[in-house]
Structure 1
């Protein structure tokens, strides 16, 4: 079979190689999946760089989530068991984490529903406890993680303000359902948020970016607001001024979805049921901007790393199921 493999750490476009390898053999408690679609995530780039919290042994295959097919023909979504990731014709997954693919979504959409939407759901509902009528500020609103949060926020009855970089991404954010869109390249984010909220600020901030995005969020979070830290796509981990949180009476919350997957898997399964129901009634639908063939995977991971994509880029390996 064919699989993309990383033999040394570095930029995805430089270190990913497409190779012919043996199909991976599942260990006890694992299943082998025929990969129908592999969603590209920012962590795939971090894995290539050796900067992710999990560091699989070299060589490894990136690709943290897939829509796949089991040996008995079931269509499923799963988080891959590294080092045998999803940018391959076959991947491994822990059997206990495999979930049924939603019938309302095609393979690419189903692959993209998993980690990003689970992250958004837990961040907004379990951590921030977003309420109907509240204002939700989403950074990188046209990206893979941000677009999921926009849709989930609208489904929860929130008013959504999206922050993007550039006019093309602004159009995408409006199409996703944002009520207000702020272009970080030309707009003063705190001033624009205060204007859009009558001076109140954002009740909930969803931040997968970190760095300057976090600093600006702290300037426009509402009284008793909640900033949910989801990731650091900017590459800069902020150092919050806790005296500022004290004086303005807001909360800083962390969200590491992987801990729910390992410590409370039943909660993950319940979340998947909720996401499946939302997809069935059309309340959420992953934005797939590109469906690329296997040979384009390295370039796709690099472009996601560079922040030049919108929505989700999904790799379709097109393996022979025999």
Structure 2
């Protein structure tokens, strides 16, 4: 079968499409004909050797896999060949076939395309957990979203609006701001040109923001914390800006606000019942049309280099999805 293989971390990482043997089917696993693979900023960091998880090379990247089951291990009874599923494969997804643990599989509704499914779980799951469990956002509260046209940013706008929040969205280009507005943002601004605090105070009537959703970090983080309202919650989502910020802790004291970490992967393992409830809520929102996954879709395994480039240069909108086979 054809697969993307990382032979060496480099720098730069040595990646290419190769013919390799199909993976063996292990107990508790299923074999999936891959249709689409979600590829996000954590994946780009992983192949660069800069993520908190560093698989031993050679290996095939790709975690979020949407496809059709072709074979199940003898001890797997809850899934059958022919089922359309979304899998958290860990690695091995950027291939024509992958093998994934059956306990990670999620049946797909017939109304969800493979491309939408491949861009769904990590981004929407992270955001729902962040806004509901970590921030306890309430109807009528204000929500600031940075990186608002990115993979998680758009989900924060959609879910924030679905939960009754007023959303101020920040992005870096006019095109991204327009996309944020189309996904429901009440107001938008360019944080590379405008002062974050000034825009927050304008939006909130000088009150400050209730919940901040920040996947960017870098030098923007301190500006956001300085814009928080009393009892505000600043959600630490990630550091796509390339630098982990050092925030003066006296700001949390003076603002009476909380700095709240969001680690969705650990949440799914430590709180599986809550995760399952979140998934049900998310699929209900999808079926009702309140969330509509936006993907940057690239056709074919050979376009993995383009996927890396648009992520590393911050040109992607929504989730980058690599199409491997037709639905």
Q: TM-score by structure 1 length? A: 0.94
- Aligned pair 1:211/2:218, yes or no? yes
Q: CA deviation at 1:187?
A: 1.0
User: RMSD of aligned C-alpha atoms?
Assistant: 1.6
Report the counterpart of residue 83 of structure 2 in structure 1. 74
Q: CA deviation at 1:213?
A: 2.0
Report the counterpart of residue 209 of structure 2 in structure 1. 202
Report the counterpart of residue 292 of structure 1 in structure 2. 299
Kept in 2, the 8 Å contact 1:81–1:94? The answer is no
Kept in 2, the 8 Å contact 1:15–1:48? The answer is no
Report the counterpart of residue 134 of structure 1 in structure 2. 141
**In 2, distance between residues paired with 1:238 and 1:193?**
20
Once the two structures are superposed, what CA deviation does each residue of 1:99-130 show, in whole Å capped at 9, x if it has no partner?
A: 11133221101111110000000000000001
- Aligned pair 1:7/2:7, yes or no? yes
**In 1, distance between residues paired with 2:232 and 2:246?**
18
Report the counterpart of residue 276 of structure 2 in structure 1. 269
Q: CA deviation at 1:318?
A: 1.5
Deviating above 6 A after TM superposition, structure 1's stretches of 4 or more consecutive aligned residues are none
- Aligned pair 1:89/2:88, yes or no? no
Report the counterpart of residue 158 of structure 2 in structure 1. 151
Q: CA deviation at 1:11?
A: 6.7
**Stretch deviating more after TM superposition (181-190 or 113-122):** 181-190
May I ask how many residue pairs the two structures share in their alignment? 317
**In 2, distance between residues paired with 1:141 and 1:102?**
27
* Contiguous gaps of at least 5 residues in structure 1: none
Q: What SS is found at the alignment partner of 1:81?
A: coil
Correspondence for 1:104 among 111, 115, 122: 111
* Contiguous gaps of at least 5 residues in structure 2: 71-80
Kept in 1, the 8 Å contact 2:226–2:251? The answer is no
Report the counterpart of residue 324 of structure 2 in structure 1. 317
**In 2, distance between residues paired with 1:92 and 1:241?**
46
**In 2, distance between residues paired with 1:260 and 1:209?**
21
Kept in 1, the 8 Å contact 2:5–2:17? The answer is yes
**In 2, distance between residues paired with 1:18 and 1:65?**
18
Q: TM-score by structure 2 length? A: 0.93
Correspondence for 1:176 among 168, 172, 183: 183
**In 2, distance between residues paired with 1:264 and 1:42?**
24
